[in-house]
Copies of this chain bind each other. A is one copy, B any other.
Amino acid sequence: MNSIMLSADQFGIVYNVLSFGLVCMLATTIYTLVSQSRVLPKYRTALVMSSMVTFIAAYHYFRIFNSFEDSYVDGAVKVGTGAGDFNEGYRYVDWILTVPLLLVEVVAVLSLAKAAASSLINRLVPASAAMIALGYPGEISTDNNTKVLWGVLSTIPFLYILYVLFVELSKSLDRQPAGVAATIGRLRLLLIATWGVYPISYLLPILGQSATDPGAFVNRQIGYTIADVLAKCVFGLTILKIARMKSVAEGMKEDH
Protein backbone atom coordinates (compact mmCIF):
# COMPACT_ATOMS: atom_id res chain seq x y z
CA MET A 1 0.00 0.00 0.00
CA ASN A 2 1.23 3.48 -0.92
CA SER A 3 0.10 6.60 0.90
CA ILE A 4 0.04 9.63 -1.41
CA MET A 5 -0.35 13.14 0.07
CA LEU A 6 -2.76 15.29 -1.99
CA SER A 7 -3.48 19.00 -1.53
CA ALA A 8 -7.13 20.15 -1.48
CA ASP A 9 -6.83 21.31 -5.11
CA GLN A 10 -5.24 18.02 -6.22
CA PHE A 11 -8.01 16.11 -4.47
CA GLY A 12 -10.58 18.36 -6.19
CA ILE A 13 -9.11 17.80 -9.67
CA VAL A 14 -9.08 13.99 -9.38
CA TYR A 15 -12.57 14.03 -7.80
CA ASN A 16 -14.01 16.16 -10.63
CA VAL A 17 -12.19 14.25 -13.39
CA LEU A 18 -13.54 10.90 -12.17
CA SER A 19 -17.04 12.40 -11.93
CA PHE A 20 -16.64 13.78 -15.48
CA GLY A 21 -15.67 10.29 -16.74
CA LEU A 22 -18.70 8.75 -15.00
CA VAL A 23 -21.27 11.14 -16.46
CA CYS A 24 -19.75 10.94 -19.98
CA MET A 25 -20.15 7.15 -19.90
CA LEU A 26 -23.75 7.36 -18.65
CA ALA A 27 -24.82 10.02 -21.17
CA THR A 28 -23.26 8.11 -24.09
CA THR A 29 -25.02 4.93 -22.97
CA ILE A 30 -28.40 6.68 -23.15
CA TYR A 31 -27.59 8.29 -26.51
CA THR A 32 -26.54 5.03 -28.18
CA LEU A 33 -29.47 3.09 -26.68
CA VAL A 34 -32.01 5.65 -27.93
CA SER A 35 -30.36 5.67 -31.38
CA GLN A 36 -30.96 1.93 -32.01
CA SER A 37 -33.87 2.61 -34.39
CA ARG A 38 -31.77 5.00 -36.48
CA VAL A 39 -29.62 2.19 -37.97
CA LEU A 40 -30.57 -0.93 -39.91
CA PRO A 41 -31.18 -4.02 -37.71
CA LYS A 42 -27.93 -5.67 -38.85
CA TYR A 43 -25.91 -2.82 -37.25
CA ARG A 44 -27.79 -2.83 -33.94
CA THR A 45 -25.52 -5.46 -32.39
CA ALA A 46 -22.51 -3.19 -32.87
CA LEU A 47 -24.46 -0.31 -31.35
CA VAL A 48 -25.72 -2.20 -28.31
CA MET A 49 -22.17 -3.44 -27.68
CA SER A 50 -21.11 0.19 -27.58
CA SER A 51 -23.89 0.88 -25.05
CA MET A 52 -22.63 -2.04 -22.96
CA VAL A 53 -19.05 -0.79 -23.08
CA THR A 54 -20.00 2.67 -21.80
CA PHE A 55 -22.41 1.16 -19.26
CA ILE A 56 -19.72 -1.19 -17.88
CA ALA A 57 -17.29 1.74 -17.75
CA ALA A 58 -19.92 3.93 -16.00
CA TYR A 59 -20.30 1.23 -13.35
CA HIS A 60 -16.53 1.10 -12.80
CA TYR A 61 -16.17 4.87 -12.71
CA PHE A 62 -18.90 4.96 -10.06
CA ARG A 63 -16.88 2.43 -8.03
CA ILE A 64 -13.57 4.19 -8.67
CA PHE A 65 -15.09 7.56 -7.67
CA ASN A 66 -16.45 6.15 -4.39
CA SER A 67 -13.23 4.22 -3.74
CA PHE A 68 -11.18 7.40 -4.22
CA GLU A 69 -13.42 9.44 -1.92
CA ASP A 70 -13.44 6.76 0.80
CA SER A 71 -9.69 6.12 0.69
CA TYR A 72 -8.81 9.80 1.24
CA VAL A 73 -8.12 10.28 4.93
CA ASP A 74 -6.14 13.03 6.65
CA GLY A 75 -4.89 14.59 3.41
CA ALA A 76 -3.62 11.35 1.85
CA VAL A 77 -5.05 8.74 -0.48
CA LYS A 78 -4.08 5.13 0.25
CA VAL A 79 -3.47 3.19 -2.98
CA GLY A 80 -3.52 -0.58 -2.62
CA THR A 81 -5.61 -3.70 -2.71
CA GLY A 82 -6.84 -3.84 0.91
CA ALA A 83 -10.14 -2.76 2.46
CA GLY A 84 -10.60 1.01 2.27
CA ASP A 85 -7.70 1.44 -0.20
CA PHE A 86 -8.08 3.21 -3.56
CA ASN A 87 -8.59 0.19 -5.80
CA GLU A 88 -6.91 0.48 -9.21
CA GLY A 89 -8.00 -3.11 -9.89
CA TYR A 90 -11.37 -1.73 -11.08
CA ARG A 91 -9.63 -0.41 -14.18
CA TYR A 92 -8.33 -3.88 -15.11
CA VAL A 93 -11.71 -5.52 -14.46
CA ASP A 94 -13.20 -2.84 -16.71
CA TRP A 95 -10.66 -3.30 -19.48
CA ILE A 96 -10.84 -7.10 -19.57
CA LEU A 97 -14.57 -6.73 -20.35
CA THR A 98 -14.59 -3.60 -22.51
CA VAL A 99 -11.45 -3.95 -24.66
CA PRO A 100 -12.55 -7.26 -26.31
CA LEU A 101 -16.06 -5.76 -26.75
CA LEU A 102 -14.60 -2.66 -28.47
CA LEU A 103 -12.75 -4.86 -30.95
CA VAL A 104 -15.86 -6.96 -31.63
CA GLU A 105 -17.77 -3.70 -32.27
CA VAL A 106 -15.34 -2.74 -35.03
CA VAL A 107 -15.83 -6.11 -36.73
CA ALA A 108 -19.63 -6.09 -36.17
CA VAL A 109 -20.15 -2.65 -37.72
CA LEU A 110 -18.39 -3.79 -40.90
CA SER A 111 -21.03 -6.57 -41.33
CA LEU A 112 -18.57 -8.83 -43.12
CA ALA A 113 -19.37 -12.32 -44.36
CA LYS A 114 -19.87 -14.63 -41.37
CA ALA A 115 -16.66 -16.62 -41.87
CA ALA A 116 -14.49 -13.50 -42.17
CA ALA A 117 -16.10 -11.89 -39.11
CA SER A 118 -15.70 -15.06 -36.99
CA SER A 119 -12.08 -15.40 -38.01
CA LEU A 120 -11.29 -11.82 -36.93
CA ILE A 121 -13.25 -12.10 -33.65
CA ASN A 122 -11.67 -15.46 -32.77
CA ARG A 123 -8.26 -13.86 -32.97
CA LEU A 124 -8.97 -10.39 -31.50
CA VAL A 125 -10.94 -11.43 -28.39
CA PRO A 126 -8.43 -13.92 -26.89
CA ALA A 127 -5.51 -11.65 -27.79
CA SER A 128 -7.03 -8.61 -26.11
CA ALA A 129 -8.05 -10.57 -23.00
CA ALA A 130 -4.50 -11.95 -22.78
CA MET A 131 -3.05 -8.44 -23.18
CA ILE A 132 -5.03 -7.11 -20.18
CA ALA A 133 -4.58 -10.22 -18.01
CA LEU A 134 -0.80 -10.26 -18.54
CA GLY A 135 -0.54 -6.55 -17.67
CA TYR A 136 -2.17 -6.82 -14.26
CA PRO A 137 0.53 -8.79 -12.35
CA GLY A 138 3.06 -6.17 -13.49
CA GLU A 139 0.78 -3.28 -12.51
CA ILE A 140 0.40 -4.40 -8.88
CA SER A 141 4.00 -5.54 -8.45
CA THR A 142 6.46 -3.16 -6.79
CA ASP A 143 9.46 -5.00 -8.24
CA ASN A 144 10.81 -3.55 -11.48
CA ASN A 145 12.04 -6.87 -12.93
CA THR A 146 8.58 -8.38 -12.42
CA LYS A 147 7.03 -5.30 -14.02
CA VAL A 148 9.28 -5.56 -17.08
CA LEU A 149 8.62 -9.30 -17.45
CA TRP A 150 4.81 -8.99 -17.46
CA GLY A 151 5.02 -5.79 -19.53
CA VAL A 152 6.91 -7.65 -22.26
CA LEU A 153 4.53 -10.64 -22.10
CA SER A 154 1.55 -8.26 -22.41
CA THR A 155 3.12 -6.55 -25.43
CA ILE A 156 3.12 -9.78 -27.48
CA PRO A 157 -0.70 -10.02 -27.83
CA PHE A 158 -0.79 -6.23 -28.29
CA LEU A 159 1.49 -6.49 -31.35
CA TYR A 160 -0.63 -9.36 -32.66
CA ILE A 161 -3.78 -7.15 -32.33
CA LEU A 162 -2.01 -4.41 -34.29
CA TYR A 163 -1.20 -6.95 -37.00
CA VAL A 164 -4.81 -8.15 -37.21
CA LEU A 165 -6.24 -4.61 -37.23
CA PHE A 166 -3.81 -3.11 -39.73
CA VAL A 167 -3.12 -6.06 -42.05
CA GLU A 168 -6.00 -8.56 -41.83
CA LEU A 169 -8.80 -6.03 -41.31
CA SER A 170 -7.57 -3.78 -44.11
CA LYS A 171 -8.34 -6.50 -46.65
CA SER A 172 -12.04 -6.10 -45.77
CA LEU A 173 -12.13 -2.31 -46.07
CA ASP A 174 -12.03 -2.22 -49.90
CA ARG A 175 -15.61 -3.46 -50.16
CA GLN A 176 -17.03 -0.79 -47.80
CA PRO A 177 -19.13 2.16 -49.09
CA ALA A 178 -17.45 5.53 -49.73
CA GLY A 179 -16.34 7.31 -46.57
CA VAL A 180 -16.69 4.22 -44.38
CA ALA A 181 -13.15 2.95 -44.96
CA ALA A 182 -11.70 6.36 -44.03
CA THR A 183 -13.83 6.55 -40.86
CA ILE A 184 -12.83 2.99 -39.87
CA GLY A 185 -9.21 4.03 -40.44
CA ARG A 186 -9.65 6.97 -38.04
CA LEU A 187 -11.42 4.70 -35.52
CA ARG A 188 -8.47 2.30 -35.58
CA LEU A 189 -6.05 5.17 -35.03
CA LEU A 190 -8.20 6.50 -32.14
CA LEU A 191 -8.05 3.06 -30.50
CA ILE A 192 -4.29 2.76 -30.86
CA ALA A 193 -3.59 6.37 -29.82
CA THR A 194 -5.66 6.06 -26.64
CA TRP A 195 -4.19 2.64 -25.84
CA GLY A 196 -0.81 4.37 -25.88
CA VAL A 197 -1.73 6.12 -22.62
CA TYR A 198 -1.88 2.84 -20.69
CA PRO A 199 1.68 1.55 -21.35
CA ILE A 200 3.10 5.05 -20.73
CA SER A 201 1.43 5.09 -17.34
CA TYR A 202 2.60 1.50 -16.75
CA LEU A 203 6.20 2.44 -17.59
CA LEU A 204 6.41 5.52 -15.33
CA PRO A 205 7.32 3.63 -12.11
CA ILE A 206 9.95 1.60 -14.03
CA LEU A 207 11.46 4.84 -15.36
CA GLY A 208 12.04 6.03 -11.80
CA GLN A 209 8.80 7.88 -11.13
CA SER A 210 8.12 7.54 -7.39
CA ALA A 211 4.95 5.59 -6.58
CA THR A 212 4.01 8.17 -3.95
CA ASP A 213 4.53 11.30 -6.11
CA PRO A 214 1.25 13.31 -5.90
CA GLY A 215 1.66 14.99 -9.32
CA ALA A 216 2.21 11.64 -11.03
CA PHE A 217 -0.87 10.20 -9.32
CA VAL A 218 -3.04 13.16 -10.42
CA ASN A 219 -1.71 13.04 -14.00
CA ARG A 220 -2.30 9.29 -14.19
CA GLN A 221 -5.94 9.65 -13.15
CA ILE A 222 -6.50 12.50 -15.65
CA GLY A 223 -4.71 10.56 -18.43
CA TYR A 224 -6.63 7.31 -17.83
CA THR A 225 -9.96 9.16 -17.72
CA ILE A 226 -9.40 11.15 -20.91
CA ALA A 227 -8.14 7.98 -22.66
CA ASP A 228 -11.26 6.09 -21.49
CA VAL A 229 -13.63 8.86 -22.66
CA LEU A 230 -11.93 8.90 -26.08
CA ALA A 231 -11.67 5.11 -26.42
CA LYS A 232 -15.25 4.45 -25.27
CA CYS A 233 -17.52 7.50 -25.73
CA VAL A 234 -15.95 9.10 -28.82
CA PHE A 235 -15.34 5.57 -30.14
CA GLY A 236 -19.01 4.60 -29.58
CA LEU A 237 -20.29 7.75 -31.28
CA THR A 238 -18.01 6.98 -34.24
CA ILE A 239 -19.47 3.44 -34.41
CA LEU A 240 -22.94 5.04 -34.53
CA LYS A 241 -21.76 7.35 -37.31
CA ILE A 242 -20.38 4.43 -39.36
CA ALA A 243 -23.57 2.40 -38.79
CA ARG A 244 -25.61 5.39 -39.99
CA MET A 245 -23.41 5.85 -43.09
CA LYS A 246 -23.74 2.17 -43.97
CA SER A 247 -27.50 2.14 -43.28
CA VAL A 248 -27.98 5.11 -45.61
CA ALA A 249 -25.75 3.50 -48.28
CA GLU A 250 -28.00 0.44 -48.06
CA GLY A 251 -31.24 2.33 -48.58
CA MET A 252 -32.31 3.74 -45.19
CA LYS A 253 -33.64 7.29 -45.51
CA GLU A 254 -30.97 9.90 -44.77
CA ASP A 255 -33.20 11.76 -42.30
CA HIS A 256 -34.36 8.68 -40.44
Interface set of A (CB-CB < 8 Å, partner B):
1, 8-9, 11-13, 15-16, 19-20, 22-24, 26-27, 30-31, 33-38, 40-42, 44, 48-49, 51-52, 55-56, 59-60, 63, 69, 72, 80-83, 85, 87, 89-90, 92-93, 97, 111, 140, 253, 255-256
B residues in contact with A42, CB < 8 Å: 255-256
Q: How many copies altogether?
A: 2
Other 19 A-B pairs with CB < 8 A, given A20-B93, A27-B56, A40-B255:
A8-B80, A8-B82, A9-B81, A9-B140, A11-B82, A11-B83, A15-B83, A15-B87, A15-B89, A16-B90, A20-B97, A26-B55, A30-B51, A33-B34, A34-B48, A34-B51, A35-B48, A41-B253, A41-B256
> Is A27 a contact of B63 with CB atoms below 8 Å?
no
> Is A97 a contact of B27 with CB atoms below 8 Å?
yes
How many angstroms from the CA of A49 to the CA of B30 in the assembled complex?
Answer: 10
How many angstroms from the CA of A16 to the CA of B59 in the assembled complex?
Answer: 13
B residues in contact with A11, CB < 8 Å: 81-83
Across the interface, A38 reaches (CB within 8 A) one of B26, B31, B44, B85, namely B44
Q: Closest residue of chain B to A24, judged by CB?
A: B97
B residues in contact with A80, CB < 8 Å: 8, 12
Q: Closest residue of chain B to A83, judged by CB?
A: B72
> Is A31 a contact of B12 with CB atoms below 8 Å?
no
Q: Shortest beta-carbon distance, A35 to chain B, in Å?
A: 7
B residues in contact with A85, CB < 8 Å: 8, 12
Q: Closest residue of chain B to A69, judged by CB?
A: B83
How many angstroms from the CA of A35 to the CA of B80 in the assembled complex?
Answer: 39
How many angstroms from the CA of A24 to the CA of B80 in the assembled complex?
Answer: 24
Q: Shortest beta-carbon distance, A209 to chain B, in Å?
A: 23
Across the interface, A63 reaches (CB within 8 A) one of B1, B19, B83, namely B19
Q: Shortest beta-carbon distance, A59 to chain B, in Å?
A: 5
- With A42-B255, A81-B8: A93-B19 Cβ-Cβ less than 8 Å: yes
- With A8-B82, A8-B85, A93-B19: A52-B31 Cβ-Cβ less than 8 Å: yes
